[in-house]
Amino acid sequence: NAGVTQTPKFRILKIGQSMTLQCTQDMNHNYMYWYRQDPGMGLKLIYYSVGAGITDKGEVPNGYNVSRSTTEDFPLRLELAAPSQTSVYFCASSSSIAGASEQFFGPGTRLTVL
């Protein structure tokens, strides 16, 4: 099992450009998440999904969009990139949302917006 995979690993964008961060998991998990991690701060939830076709906003959704057409894939779309979106982005998945259900993380995408 590959677990959670993310592409690309690194990306530099110019202000105003758009891009899609890809996330795929092969564990048949219903729950998937997108986080951003900024230096000196905790992970912040951007969007999450409880199953194919269902998505919901997290704590910091502005400037982002997601879709969940299949159980495996959960892409994150950045429209009109801004320097404030410079961050490390992690995708995660879990089999459940309650109890001792650990989240499995992808390796991350390091995004710089200049």
Partner 1 sequence: GQNIDQPTEMTATEGAIVQINCTYQTSGFNGLFWYQQHAGEAPTFLSYNVLDGLEEKGRFSSFLSRSKGYSYLLLKELQMKDSASYLCAVMDSNYQLIWGAGTKLIIKP
List, as one string, the DSSP characters of 34-64.
EEEE-TTS--EEEEEEEETTEEEE-S--TTE
CB of 57 to partner 1, least distance (A): 11
CA distances from 73 to 5, 8, 42, 51 (A): 10, 14, 25, 10
- Report in angstroms how near the CB of residue 15 gets to partner 1 at its nearest: 26
Interface with partner 1 includes 103 (CB under 8 A)?
yes
Examine residue 42 and tell whether it contacts partner 1 (CB under 8 A).
yes
Establish if 100 lies at the interface with partner 1 (CB under 8 A): yes
Q: How many CA atoms lie within 13 A of 68 on its CB side?
A: 22
CB of 80 vs partner 1, minimal distance in Å:
26
Interface contacts to partner 1, rule CB under 8 A: 40-45, 48, 58-59, 90, 97-100, 102-108
